[in-house]
Structure 1
Amino acid sequence: MFLIALDHLIPYLHVGSDQAEGPKSKLGRTTKMVLAVTLHNIPEGMAVGVMYAGFLAENAQITATSALALSLGIAIQNSPEGAIISMPLRAEGESKRKAFLGGVLLGVVEPIGAVVMILAAQMVIPALPYLLSFAAGAMLYVVVEELIPEMSQGQHSNIGTLFFALGFSLMMILDVALG
């Protein structure tokens, strides 16, 4: 729900699409793409922060290795994300330096999200399972919204994502209830 709210507040453009989503704006194509990738990076940072918060809280199931593995996995996939932003900036006439800096700065929201989640988790350790669930749900939303192209096309792209979430929730309830 958090990311759906952000979807409606921030104008953005899916990679490979000419139709913008979110509120109407006069922002350029590249700016909308930057906003889309930034929106995608928020839950990534939250996921890393919650993992480290769990490790710092000495949760037996979260090890330093698992937190590091998640961090490295997300860091590795940030390289192509940076290129997704840097290349259009360069094509629009920006200098190599500005285009590179634009791609690097895009990832700044991740450490900010991670620190916010670590601080929030440290203040409210009992909320850690809920924060982990929030981060996992946000990541699922991003995966469904961005990686299944048929779901993110058209005027009512959130309907497919919402029904995916409903179906996933139902399966999780059945899994827990039926063992």
Structure 2
Amino acid sequence: MSLFVGVMIPFVGTTLGAACVFFLKNEMKPFVQKALLGFASGVMVAASVWSLLIPSMDMAEGMGKFAFVPAAVGFLLGIAFLLFMDKVIPHQHLDCNEPEGMKCKASKTSMLLFAVTLHNIPEGMAVGVAFAGMLNGNSGITMAGAFALAIGIAIQNFPEGAIISMPLKGTGLSRKKSFVYGTLSGIVEPIGAFLTILLASYIEPMLPYLLAFAAGAMLYVVVEELIPESAEGEHSNIATIGFAVGFVIMMVLDVALG
């Protein structure tokens, strides 16, 4: 039961964030959006380091001086995987007029949804592999540590859900549809988490690689999308402050609960 609850926590965060469309009348102010993007970046970077890369190297300590190998290889494979998905899956970002990925005839709303869903994949994997490490018992990841990661991602999913649903309402969609689309963008997280847990149970020796893989995938999203979007135009300093706050919160959560 605790495993199910932990895996669902990030999805709840996205849903609550998407629900902001019912309470906020106007579109989100640019400086608020930048602060939230920076915050999400900070959480993801801290989670990648403390909750994924460090446990990956700790698990491989038996390799001695080469304990970095699983973390390095997994990290690069995670980057490559998201780079491939970015090139293949058709999607479009909020501030861009041109779609990316393979060409298709999907609507702009669908393309926006695909973009966010694509970026939620590594977050689901990260939560899944953390709980898989906890179940393994030899990874150094505790139940509290896995929950800390899930809570941290849920915290950054809350503003992310709002960032999705509010602009969708601005495109002419009803509040209800904007909420549904915002919520659906996060459904890939629990699905990805459960699939990762199942996969890890069959290939237990690969767990250090999977931890680093999830870290690489998350950091790809941060470097490729979140930070550039938060740094565009004015108020980029607000994004930097948001990054610092998100990083510290996730670091504290992981160390205090882990």
TM-score higher than 0.5 here? Answer: yes
The Cα shift of 1:60 comes to 4.9
Aligned residue in 1 for 2:202: 123
CA distance in 2, matches of 1:139, 1:5: 14
Following the alignment from structure 1 to structure 2, what is the Cα–Cα distance between the partners of residues 146 and 92? 21
In structure 2, stretches of 5+ residues that fail to align are 1-79, 233-258
Per the TM alignment, residue 25 of structure 1 is displaced from its structure 2 partner at its CA by 2.7
Q: Could you tell me which of 118, 122, 126 is aligned with 1:47?
A: 126
1:62 alignment partner, one of 141, 153, 158 = 141
For residues 131 and 123 of structure 2, the distance between their equivalents in structure 1, rounded to whole angstroms, comes to: 13
Quote the offset at 1:66 in angstroms.
1.4
State, as a whole percentage, how many aligned pairs show the same letter: 60
Q: Deviations over 1:66-122 (max 9, x none)?
A: 111110111111122222322233233333222212111111000001001100111
**TM-score, normalised on structure 2?**
0.54
Q: Note the 1:132-171 alignment, pairs <5 A.
A: 132-149=211-228
Match of 2:166 in 1: 87
Q: State TM-score, norm by structure 1.
A: 0.77
- Residue 51 of structure 1 deviates from its aligned partner by 0.3
What residue is the counterpart of 1:26 in the other structure?
Answer: 105
Greater mean alpha carbon deviation, residues 75-84 or residues 108-117: 75-84
Q: Distance in 2 between matches of 1:12 and 1:130?
A: 28
Does the CA contact (< 8 Å) of 1:14 and 1:146 recur in 2? no
Q: Which has the higher contact order (CA 8 A, sep 6+)?
A: 2
Q: Which residue identity does 1:9 align to in structure 2?
A: V
- What is the CA deviation profile of residues 117-146 of structure 1, one whole-angstrom value per residue up to 9, with x for unaligned ones? 100111111110111111111111111111
Question: Aligned residues, how many?
Answer: 151
Alignment deviations for residues 36-85 of structure 1 (CA, whole Å, 9 cap, x no partner) = 11000000000000000000101352111211111011111112222232
Bigger drift between 122-131 and 15-24 goes to: 15-24
**Root mean square deviation of aligned Cα:** 1.9
Q: Which runs of 5+ in 1 are unaligned?
A: 154-179
Letter in 2 for 1:15: L
